[in-house]
Amino acid sequence: MSDKKFRIGFFIFPGMTQLDFTGPAEVLGMMPDAEVVVVAKTMDSVRASNKLAFVPDRTIDDEDIYDMICVAGGVSCTDVMTDTKTLNWLRRQAETAQYITSVCTGSLILAAAGLLEGRRAGCHWAWIDHLEKFGATPVRERVVTDGNRITAGGVTAGIDFGFRIVEQRLGRDVAETLLLGIEYDPAPLSGGIPETARPEIVKRIRDATTPETRAKRAEVIGKAAFAYETVNGA
């Protein structure tokens, strides 16, 4: 076996959803040739929305090249969607990376960088419709593959996405071995997606976000979409 490492750059940012990052990192890091690198805008510790903090290994200023890029999501994804420096870094990585991937609303960050134009893509169910503003086709599936773009749905789908990559690279036997190793055999209560959840539960989730917050979110995404259209001549 070659000694060359398969370098995976996980891009994280303040306010991200922790499991968007740690779920696939746990799975992908078990590949025998994997080198997991935590990338952020600066070397400052990054605090997720649940207050857990992570220390980056590298920054987007470093001249590192990765075989795979994975962008976490979270409500604060809107801060990243208008950050030119980060979007330019993602565009540079996309020129050579074997896989360009995301979990949850991380796909909106990829979309804002122009990396999902004309492609099918997934996202968290409450945000997925915004993908159309960046020329992507929203798909309500747990893991969506379009070429070398792989976008996982909300939060826990990042674990499924990780196993999809393992199976593609190393085969089903390895994927199932790792699957058993971490005893990943979810059997949750029904209703984990809006299509199967009780209407009153969906309403409770939607009502948890105030109209003011939804309006602010739409405003920021609209600015990112305008910048995307300006750059891409849409």
Query: Which residue numbers are catalytic?
Result: 104
Q: Which of 207, 231, 224 is nearest to 108 (CA)?
A: 224
Q: How far apart are CA 36 and CA 30, in angstroms?
A: 10
- Burial category of 2 from C-beta neighbours within 10 Å (exposed 0-12, middle 13-18, buried 19 and up): exposed
Report DSSP state, residue 54.
Answer: E
- Structure token digits, residue 37: 């690198």
Q: Tokens 């393992």 appear where? A: 166
Q: How far apart are CA 175 and CA 69, in angstroms?
A: 20
Q: Is the dihedral of CA 58, 62, 65, 68 positive or negative?
A: positive
Q: How far apart are CA 97 and CA 90, in angstroms?
A: 10
Q: Is 218 left (phi over 0), alpha (psi -120 to 50) or beta?
A: alpha
CA atoms in the 13 A half-sphere facing the CB of 78: 15
Helix pair 172-181, 157-170: axis angle to 10 deg: 140
